[in-house]
């Protein structure tokens, strides 16, 4: 299943004094099974873009096709789109409302009109995928859980829709390192084990570098770069020019090259820079 975006434009509060064009002529295709990292600073249009992917916002002009369905078409069932494309908002724990963990996760499947047996299966399955123990937690109140657990319940609530594409807007915002690692590893597993297409919006270059297979950089409502991380991160100067950073491994590689060391081009992972340094200074010998 693919998402095809053609010449997408979106304007907030059209005609009013605060009119702003949030997206300009965005065209891109997200293929089945991809892991896309979407980066850009606040106001670059990335949050607006992801809200188009499941029809929460409608293009001012342009076209979006999800699995062959045209979003702008009046006959397209929005819910059919939302079943295919799951969207996890920033701070998703703020949407929890049911009395128990189980009921909250079941909210999505219920809206899909599934029977009780299927709902139960999905709730258990979703909880397993976000590493929440069903037996101990399903009857607990969502408001008694820790911040990290609440976030995982919220993600499970979207997973229970069993979407083919999962879009996450800053899934790690506000979490401590342990919570962040838990969320990132569950996203990694969803992609590698279930083959779910992932679109992850993130401010952390290091997170994107360690997970994504493709990086889309947004700036001023336009696609600024689109490519494999190796290519995107090798354009450090351009990224810095629009106020973004590059992963520290890339910064180190750039600075070592400037000092005349032979560091291979396109390095962006910590393991790669480590290997490069070991090639320079030699490995395993103790310089006393």
Rounded Cα gap, residues 256 and 272, in angstroms:
13
Is the dihedral angle over the CA atoms 56, 212, 266, 251 positive or is it negative?
A: positive
Among 74, 115, 135, 177, binds other proteins (CB under 8 A): 177
Rounded Cα gap, residues 217 and 114, in angstroms:
38
Rounded Cα gap, residues 234 and 250, in angstroms:
8
277 binding other proteins? (CB under 8 A): yes
Binding-site size, other proteins (CB under 8 A): 65
**Contact flags string 97-116 toward other proteins, x per CB under 8 A:** x---------xx--xx----
280 binding other proteins? (CB under 8 A): yes
> Which pair of structure tokens corresponds to residue 109?
């499947």
Rounded Cα gap, residues 140 and 134, in angstroms:
10
75 binding other proteins? (CB under 8 A): no
Task: Supply the DSSP symbol for 244.
Answer: -
Q: Candidates 3-11, 66-74, 83-91, 189-197 — which segment interacts with other proteins by CB under 8 A?
A: 83-91
> Which pair of structure tokens corresponds to residue 130?
């976000």
Which residues contact residue 231 at a Cβ distance below 8 angstroms, ignoring those fewer than 6 apart?
Answer: 266
**Contact flags string 219-248 toward other proteins, x per CB under 8 A:** ------------------------x-x-xx
Unique residue bearing structure tokens 């919006």: 201
What is the contact surface with other proteins in residues (CB under 8 A)? 13, 16, 41-42, 51, 54, 56, 79, 82-83, 86-89, 92, 94-97, 107-108, 111-112, 143, 146-148, 157-158, 161, 173-179, 203-204, 206, 243, 245, 247-249, 251-252, 255-256, 259, 261, 270, 273-274, 277-278, 280-288
């Amino acid at each position: 299943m693919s998402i095809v975006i053609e010449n997408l434009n979106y304007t907030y509060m059209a005609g009013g004094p605060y009119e702003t064009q949030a997206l300009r002529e965005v065209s891109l295709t997200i293929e089945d099974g991809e892991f896309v990292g979407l980066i850009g600073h606040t106001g670059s249009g990335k949050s607006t873009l992801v809200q188009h992917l499941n029809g929460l916002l409608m293009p001012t002009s342009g076209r979006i096709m999800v699995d062959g369905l045209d979003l702008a078409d009046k006959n397209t069932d929005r819910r059919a789109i939302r079943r295919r494309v799951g969207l996890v908002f920033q701070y998703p724990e703020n949407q929890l409302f049911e009395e128990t963990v189980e009921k909250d996760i079941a909210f999505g499947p219920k809206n899909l009109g599934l029977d009780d047996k299927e709902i139960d299966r999905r709730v258990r399955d979703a909880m397993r995928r976000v590493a929440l123990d069903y037996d101990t937690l399903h009857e607990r109140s969502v408001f008694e859980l820790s911040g990290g657990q609440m976030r995982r319940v919220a993600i499970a609530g979207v997973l229970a829709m069993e979407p083919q594409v999962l879009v996450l807007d800053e899934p790690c915002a506000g979490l401590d390192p342990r919570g962040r690692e838990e969320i990132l590893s569950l996203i990694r597993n969803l992609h590698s084990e279930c083959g779910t297409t992932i679109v992850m919006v993130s401010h952390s270059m290091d997170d994107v570098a360690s997970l994504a297979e493709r990086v889309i950089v947004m700036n001023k409502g336009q696609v600024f770069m689109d490519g494999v991380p190796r290519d995107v991160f090798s354009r450090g100067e351009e990224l810095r020019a629009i106020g973004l950073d590059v992963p520290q491994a890339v910064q180190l590689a750039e600075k070592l090259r400037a000092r005349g060391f032979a560091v291979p081009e396109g390095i962006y992972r910590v393991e790669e820079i480590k290997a490069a340094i070991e090639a320079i200074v030699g490995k395993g010998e103790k310089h006393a």
